[in-house]
Structure 1
């Protein structure tokens, strides 16, 4: 199973800047709350990798 990552970003001069990437949701939310109290525009993105799909193709030898 793939691990979920949380990216905390702040809005700074027309661009979003990543300030933390972590696997701990609580840590990301705590930083978001602390930054919000200082009137900073902040967001947390949850990134979950997609499961790899297996192709159903098999090679057949025609020799």
Structure 2
């Protein structure tokens, strides 16, 4: 989800009128409720469909997160 944060934040602003300040203060429960209510056409949903779900090596983790393997 962090990898696609701009899509998450943009979708929440567009669909629910959430500001970045409100998002920063939001409970985890509320955040997850709003994210799971996004439509399948949201930017985040489209990006999430193409995100690998399995990371078996430091190289996989680096590729997914963008943080170089050490």
Structure 1 length as normaliser, TM-score? 0.31
Give the structure with the larger strand fraction.
Answer: 1
Higher relative contact order (CA 8 A, sep 6+): 1
Larger Rg: 1
Give the structure with the larger helix fraction.
Answer: 2
